[in-house]
Structure 1
Amino acid sequence: MKTILITGASSGFGKLLTQQLAQKEQYHIVATMRNTDSSNATVKKELESLHNVDVLALDVTSEEEVQHVTQKVAQKYSSIDILINNAGVFGGGLLEAHSITQVQKLFDVNVYAPLRLMKAVLPSMRQKQDGLIINLSSMLGFFSIPLNAVYCASKFALEALVSGSYSELISKGVENILVEPGSFPTTLYQKSGIKADLSDVTLSYAGWAEQMTAYANQAVYKAIQENQPDPQAVVQKIIDLISMEKGSRPMRNPIDQISGEDFAQKVAHDIESLAQTQMKAYGF
């Protein structure tokens, strides 16, 4: 049986994925989340009632906890075969209105945390020349938009870490890939997130930020209502990737039911094509 470690499993894609992978006999699922003794105690109990599911407390921003949990799982199940870096946090607000501390907090969850988990599991994956890491990015890892520059930057960074290391790791038998959802009705947008915290700067824009935020929220809500994107599509995409033969998985896997699948695939294809053209120009 393969062991799958999922971060951010208390809600959204992580919880759905845990529930559906638990139906498959060939996996041990280790679902991780924060606050298992408080706000997430109920969901912990719910997921632990499923077949082959363990729930462990994990704050992905803590190096100590990442090391403790990954070592504990590896000792219990001999190895971590698949890592799903799903934990993430949303943000919003004017770029200028973010303190550097606030930017660092957002990057700690969306960039450094997946990297921490990668570095924790890669030595054993490389040793056995086998492993799969799936990182939840975003279509906003391709495009940056007003009032979301910091969040988009975190996803740009994740895209760069994965795409740049892909060839390094595939040579060692490890696939490190991306799943890039568009907007889906999950709890990510409902949580407070890590947002612009310099209110005096926001105020100095004389209401522009508030007007744009209201407009953007309304536009996204309308697009979701009209297109009814189904989070299950993202979960199924991940399950399908897990089931694919080693070496056949695409590095980028965009999925956007609002802009359309053809558009999403074209973006990924064009970026890859342009990257290959540049690399060839430099003799690689």
Structure 2
Amino acid sequence: MDKKIVLITGTNSGFGWLTAHSVAASGHKVYATMRHTNGKNADKAEALSQVKNITVLDVSLTDETSVKNAFDTIIAKEGTIDVLVNNAGGAMFGVAESSTTEDVQRMLDINMIAPWRLMKLAIPYMRKQSEGLIINISSGWGRFSAPFAVVYAASKFGLEGLSEGLHYELRPLGVDVTIIQPGAFPTEMSQKIQFGSDTSVVDEYKAIADVPGKMGTARDQMFETANPDPQDVADAVVKLINMPKGQRPLRTVVDPTTGEFIKRANEAVNVEYGNILTAFGMKGLLN
């Protein structure tokens, strides 16, 4: 196995924390990013720094200069980057109308623009070496937009839109772009959920005020039945990294609860997507 240089974002908790450990344990060199390495995440940064094959970088992904400085650090030490895992993200739930323009902008900045910022830096190096892998962590809500998750879903739709077109655009140049669609997992993200800032409209939705509670109850019941393990997402990342170039699927669903619904939707859309590319003279990019 060739040792790869891997950049993983959002490694202070959840999928990112597990993925950093798993990728490093596979023998790859990991650059793990998080914010506040000298503040609230100091303990996490210190612990991760003690792991073999991991270097921690303090990065604010919505800050152009911070991202560029981190990327330049990696290039100065390694000369290139082989794998980019865009894992960091934020979640926003609640009545969609309560989200202000600034709220929506914040979600797009975190879940779509920040990954693009990193992809824009990584792609030239990957193209130059005719090999590279970009893994974007999306969501099942990147396929379906659910009530009370509208803004979050929209941001993941955007990430999937970037990823899907790039998958076909870059594959002939030796670069794979893939999406992982996790379902609901018991991670720290549930403790960091954001809500719309315009609370003045919430009372207007009393007719469906009990729906979010029902969603939470259904989720908890699924957790009890399926016992989803966040490590499955980290394992999926490692599997994609170790797969041969050109054989990696566009989408990988990791969801023991509602994953079959997502898979069937992906398969159906994939057929029609192929028809669209064919209609516009791009059939050759499908193979």
Normalising by structure 1, report the TM-score: 0.94
Q: Which amino acid aligns with 1:247?
A: G
**Matches of residues 8-27 of structure 1 in structure 2 within 5 Å?**
8-25=10-27, 27=28
Distance 1:71 1:129 in 2: 20
CA distance in 2, matches of 1:5, 1:33: 11
Partner in structure 1 of residue 196 of structure 2: 196
SS at match of 1:21: helix
In the other structure, the counterpart of 1:244 is 243
Q: How does 1:131-280 map to 2 (within 5 A)?
A: 131-191=132-192, 193-206=193-206, 208-209=208-209, 211-260=210-259, 262-280=260-278
Aligned length: 280
CA RMSD of aligned residues (A): 1.4
* Contact 2:143–2:262, Cα closer than 8 Å, also in 1: no
1:175 aligned counterpart, secondary structure: strand
Distance 1:263 1:203 in 2: 33
Matches within 5 A, 1:112-131: 112-131=113-132
Deviation larger for 221-230 or 147-156: 221-230
Deviation at 1:174, TM superposition (A): 1.0
Q: Name the CA distance, whole Å, in 2 between partners of 1:80 and 1:207.
A: 52
**Rounded Cα–Cα distance in structure 2 between residues aligned with 1:267 and 1:235:** 23
How many Å apart are 1:283 and its aligned residue? 4.3
CA deviation after TM superposition for structure 1 residue 281, in Å: 3.6
> Counterpart of 2:45 in 1: which secondary structure?
helix
Regions of 4+ moved over 6 Å? none
How far did residue 207 of structure 1 move? 6.6
SS of the counterpart of 2:25? coil
1:204-234 CA deviation, whole Å, 9 max, x = no partner? 323734x222221122112112211111211
Alpha-carbon contact 1:254-1:268 (below 8 Å) kept = no
In structure 2, what residue type is equivalent to 1:251?
Answer: L
Report if the CA contact (8 A) 1:9-1:87 is conserved. Answer: yes
Q: 2:257, 2:177 → 1: CA distance?
A: 26
Letter in 2 for 1:43: K
Give the corresponding residue for 1:46. Answer: 47
Distance 2:83 2:262 in 1: 25
| Aligned counterpart, 2:8 | 6
Structure 1, unmatched stretches of 5+, are none
* Conserved 8 A contact 2:19-2:233: no
Matched residue SS, 2:159 = helix
**In structure 1, how many angstroms separate the alpha carbons of the residues matched to 2:106 and 2:179?**
22
Kept in 1, the 8 Å contact 2:22–2:235? The answer is no
What is the CA distance between 1:158 and its match in structure 2?
A: 0.7
Query: In 1, distance between residues paired with 2:168 and 2:23?
Result: 28
Tell me the distance in 2 between the aligned counterparts of 1:122 and 1:92: 32
User: What is the 5 A alignment of 1:49-68?
Assistant: 49-68=50-69
Please state how far the C-alpha of 1:24 moved relative to its aligned partner.
2.5
Q: Residues of 2 paired with 1:13 and 1:70: CA distance?
A: 21
Shift of 1:57: 0.4
Shift of 1:150: 0.6
Q: Provide structure 2 residue ranges, at least 5 long, that are not aligned to the other structure.
A: 283-287
Counterpart-to-counterpart distance in 2, 1:282 and 1:120: 29
Letter of the 1:271 counterpart: V
SS in structure 1 at match of 2:98? coil
CA offset at residue 124 of structure 1?
1.3
Paired position in structure 1 for 2:285: none
Deviation at 1:263, TM superposition (A): 3.9
- CA distance in 2: counterparts of 1:174 and 1:279, whole angstroms: 19
1:86-125 equivalences under 5 Å are 86-125=87-126
Report the 3-state secondary structure (helix = DSSP H, G, I; strand = E; otherwise coil) of the residue aligned with 1:84: strand
| 1:194 Cα deviation from its structure 2 partner | 3.0
